[in-house]
Structure 1
Amino acid sequence: MGRDELCIAVPSLFRCPISLDLMKSPVSLCTGVTYDRSSIQHWLDSGHDTCPATMQVLSSKDFVPNLTLHRLINLWASKAPTKSPALAPAVSEEKVRVWIEEIKSGKIEMCLDSIVEFVSCGEVSRRFLVSFDDFLEAIVGVLNTNCDQIRVLESVIRVLSSILLENGVREKLHKLVFISNSNCLPSFISVLRNGSLEYSIACVTVLESITMNNQSKQFVAGTQDVLPVLVQLLKTENDHQDLNEAVMSFLISVSITRSIKTRLAQLGLVGALSNMLLSQNAAVSVVEKSLKVLSIICTCADGRSAISVDPICAGAIVERLMKVSKTATEDAVVVLWSMCCLFRDEKAQEKVARSNGVAKVLLVMQSEVGEGNVRMMCGDLIKVLSLGCKNGGGHGGMVSYETKTTHIMPC
């Protein structure tokens, strides 16, 4: 595909600022700018210490996967035409006006397929469509009418996910869904419950993108059926990595109050996360998000209680230490420290010790992760777990420490 064709077909946000090609693995620098992994890695390996787009000197050369953008690129790619996208089909301003009137008059099925085809043709088509101020209002209105036709709802979600990244769309959708007395959430829930996997992912992605402030996050999380249906998806669709990643990204975003965290714990989220931590098939990104969610919900009493009584959670966290990114390892240490040291949960202490916890925590402590607060938390964990062993508590962890890792001593 030539460069000119690419510029027409691919949204600018999806193109790497260095190569100008569609990003396959988007990662973000500390400056907040996202690049394709191979391009920025080559830039850094060449001896540069600046951000190519801003020319800021980098305080850190680490980069993190931009998982939300990766999902959006995958969604866009799955809908992009397989043939040369050269030019969108000719659609006049008058034709779009007809579509809007048909949508408003309840005849959306007459034009829906044409709209879906049009937004799938490329960036030019999407920009043309969203330039009509009342198009978004009309399409969101379909979600607000208690429509029970899942095909229609799926197609509307597809359109919204396709145009989501166009200038100003997220902000307009936020106002329409959360400020204009809209009642769209039942339609989102219907798609999550009854739609196909592809549209469930798109649905979660759209919801996360438009919950842009604390008020909207509390509104979504407080709606009776949103959190239950999302947790149920994690329990029943645990082999679908993209869906799991999308759901957990959303849960991380909305878990801003104690009541939300408590409800997630009461819905059985800890059990679903524990299974993901133990799964050999789970993607690293899914495991890391699981640890992030656990670090969030362990800040409430119900969350700690759920972790305490879960038969595999504490051991699964220990098992993942040093097998994930630095940030995720820190999240794991936070959970273990909160359970074992801050709140002195004896069940958690025993499970961590029996999972060779002392040796694993020592390894973290002596790695580059074990700095600052993480180092102090690791030191506290070793003291508590060692004391528990001396008092007849966790056997397995301390036996392993004394017989296999006596050469590793805390500083």
Structure 2
Amino acid sequence: MVRENKLHDLCITVPTFFKCPISLDVMKSPVSLCTGITYDRSSIQRWLDDGNNTCPATMQTLYSKDIIPNRTLHSLIQIWTDSVHHRVNPPVSPSKEQVLQAITELTDSNGLNRFGLNLITKVNRFAQDSDQNKAFLAKLDGFVALMVSLLDNVDGSVEFLEQILTALSFVLEKIEDREALKNHLLKGKNKKCLDSIVLVLQRGSNNSRIAIARILKFIAIDAESELLIGENEALITELLKLSSPEKDPKLIENCLSCLVAISKPKRNKMKLVKIGVMKILSKLLTESNISVAVVEKALKLVETASSTSEGRKEICEDSVCVAAILNKVLKVSNVATEHGVTTLWSVCYLFRDQKAQEAVTLANGLTKILLLIQSNCSPHVRQMCMDLLKIFRVNSKSCLSSYDTKTSHIMPF
């Protein structure tokens, strides 16, 4: 139980109903009398053993001296005690010598037991303590290779895998040789690393999933690494699932960042479309409370999908998606505007899809395109908007049929 003097030193207020009315200390074993008042068992037992037959707090005569455990209050006190435990007794960060010893023992034990979990947890406590500690581990000869080898050999222990991935994510920004990490993760002898990563994506915590997305983005440094990651369809599928609107916003952002990083090869674009990327992106873009960063990344992936015939087909057949893209081009950021306009330009102007053109018209897209031309957009975006106006100018149903697209003045309606 937390000591009162330590709580006082740390200015932690103890809830009044956690204190025994007799001793005024936090109750270890709360019990209630027939009057409904709760005391610590040892205090009220002494009161009763002394021959008293009244309730100390109310001075009511007790018709029964039975004491009943207050289990609900006991649980609340335990939860509160656990929450302040680390403030009262903060864990001591391991020294460099202790961490080096832990790493040696991890190497010898191969990590495949509870002892190994304790060792890697000690390493993570050390890394979490400071940037200097992270840099020390990143530059430690063989550390990254050891972490990957453990990731490659552990079967089914999600908790252990999470700790390994956490360790890698801690030192990520301090790693100078990204190529070496890429080779360790993607070209390991047993090639089980990505399978272990998929397991954590399926069953791990959000923090572990975010760590994975950061690691994969970090090693996606060339076409080879992008293709090697993209080959694992289960991995891509899980990242996409974790990007759906109901997930944690930070998790969505990191998963989308990872998908953007690996989406350049045509093979990967095709795979993303095949496993349903447009359905997820359409749902995201129709949400009203997503962050700017998420919108930008979602629109970048939509633009990527529009460079494939299959992706364009899905975009053009989803009028809700087209309307959502139009809705974001004016309200988010210059980056979002460019991605959104590029997609519309691709499907409506470059590939002349009739369904997409109709969806733009129904969503009041012509007015938005005109407003964009008058805005402080980039010359590239303005030119694409002018191209789009040419398409709608020749549409007999459009009020722009007599509009001269060579001018940059907005048409008076």
Q: So what's the TM-score if we normalise by structure 2?
A: 0.70
The answer to whether the Cα contact below 8 Å between 1:295 and 1:331 also exists between their aligned partners in 2 is: yes
Shift in Å, 1:187? 0.8
Count of aligned positions: 318
Q: Shift of residue 180 of structure 1?
A: 4.0
Does the C-alpha gap of structure 1 residues 377 and 194 become closer, same or farther in structure 2, counting only changes over 3 Å?
A: same
Partner of 2:82: none
> Is structure 2 residue 192 aligned with structure 1 residue 186?
no
Gaps of 5+ in 1: 1-80, 402-406
Q: Deviations over 1:96-137 (max 9, x none)?
A: 453333453634224122222222221233333344322222
Q: Aligned pair 1:218/2:227, yes or no?
A: yes
Higher CA-based Rg: 2
Counterpart in the other structure of 1:101: 107
Structure 1 position 378, deviation (Å): 0.9
- 1:382 lines up with 2:384 in the alignment: no
Distance 1:84-1:327 versus aligned 2 partners, 3 A rule:
farther
CA distances 1:296-341 after superposition (whole Å, capped 9, x unpaired): 1100101101101123111111111211221221111111111111
For 2:265 and 2:257, the matched residues in 1 are separated by 16
Question: Matched residue of 2:142: which SS?
Answer: helix
Q: Provide the C-alpha distance between the structure 1 equivalents of 2:156 and 2:178, rounded to a whole number of angstroms.
A: 25
Given that 1:304 and 1:339 are in contact with CA atoms closer than 8 Å, whether structure 2 keeps it comes out as yes
Instruction: Please state whether the residue corresponding to 1:144 is helix, strand or coil.
Output: helix
Q: Structure 1: how far apart are the matches of 2:87 and 2:258? A: 30
Conserved in 2, the CA contact under 8 Å of 1:102 and 1:111? no
> 2 CA distance for matches of 1:197 and 1:316?
28
Q: Among residues 330, 342, 349, which one is paired with 1:341 in the alignment?
A: 349
Is the 2:319–2:356 contact (alpha carbons within 8 Å) kept by the matching residues of 1?
no
| Structure 1: distance between partners of 2:179 and 2:344 | 39
Tell me the distance in 1 between the aligned counterparts of 2:107 and 2:339.
Answer: 51
Deviation at 1:253, TM superposition (A): 1.0
Contact 1:270–1:310 (Cα < 8 Å) also in 2: no
Residues 384 and 103 of structure 1: CA distance in aligned 2, closer, same or farther (over 3 Å): farther
Counterparts of 2:135 and 2:264 in 1: how far apart (Å)? Answer: 34
Structure 2 contact 270–308 (Cα < 8 Å) conserved: yes
| Residue identity opposite 2:258 in structure 1 | F
Number of the residue aligned with 2:94: 89
Residues 260 and 281 (structure 1), Cα distance of their counterparts in 2 relative to 1, 3 Å cut: same
Change (3 A) 1:268 1:398: farther
Using the TM superposition, name which of 206-215 and 351-360 deviates more. 206-215
Deviations 1:121-155 (CA, angstroms, capped at 9, x unpaired): 21233333344322222221121125201111111
| Alignment correspondent of 2:71 | none
Contact 2:151–2:193 (8 Å) recurs in 1: yes
C-alpha distance after superposition, 1:31-81 (max 9, x if no partner): xxxxxxxxxxxxxxxxxxxxxxxxxxxxxxxxxxxxxxxxxxxxxxxxxx9
Does the 8 A contact of 1:144 with 1:184 survive in 2? Answer: yes
Is this contact kept in 2: 1:100–1:135, CA < 8 A?
no
2:320 alignment counterpart = 312
1:250-329 mapped onto 2 (5 Å cutoff): 250-329=258-337
| Deviations 1:351-377, CA, capped at 9 Å, x for gaps | 100111000000111112152x32222
Whether contact under 8 Å (1:270, 1:294) holds in the other structure is yes
Q: Which residue of 1 aligns with 2:7?
A: none
CA contact (8 A) 1:221 1:260 kept: yes
Pair 1:128–1:326, CA change in 2 (3 A): closer
Q: Does 1:199 align with 2:204?
A: no
Amino acid at match of 1:90: S
139, 161, 166: which one pairs with 1:158?
166
Q: 1:121 aligns with which of 124, 129, 146?
A: 129
Q: Could you report, residue by residue, the CA deviation over 1:253-307 in whole angstroms, capped at 9, with x for unpaired residues?
A: 1112222111111211112111111111111111111111111110010110110
- Separation (CA, whole Å) in 1 of partners of 2:232 and 2:307: 22
Tell whether the 8 Å contact from 1:341 to 1:381 is kept in structure 2 after alignment.
yes
Relative to the length of structure 1, the TM-score reads 0.71
Give the Cα separation in 1 of the matches to 2:364 and 2:237: 35
Match in the other structure for 2:29: none
2: CA distance, partners of 1:84 / 1:165: 31
Aligned-residue offset at 1:227: 1.4
Structure 1 residues 199 and 180: CA distance shift in structure 2, 3 A = closer
Q: Secondary structure at the match of 1:349?
A: helix
Q: The residue matched to 1:165 in structure 2 has which SS? A: helix
2: CA distance, partners of 1:385 / 1:83? 69
Aligned AA (2:208) = Y
Give the conservation status (yes or no) of the 8 Å contact 1:239–1:282. Answer: no
RMSD (Å) for aligned C-alpha atoms: 2.9
Change in CA separation of 1:122 and 1:378 when aligned onto 2, cut-off 3 Å = same
Contact 2:111/2:150, CA 8 A, preserved across alignment:
no
Distance 1:106 1:84, change over 3 A: closer
CA contact (8 A) 1:333 1:378 kept: yes
The one-letter code matched in structure 1 to 2:94 is: P
For the residues of structure 2 that align with 1:139 and 1:370, how far apart are their CA atoms? Answer: 46
Q: 2: CA distance between counterparts of 1:299 and 1:131?
A: 41
User: Is the 2:372–2:385 contact (alpha carbons within 8 Å) kept by the matching residues of 1?
Assistant: yes
What is the letter of the counterpart of residue 99 of structure 1?
E
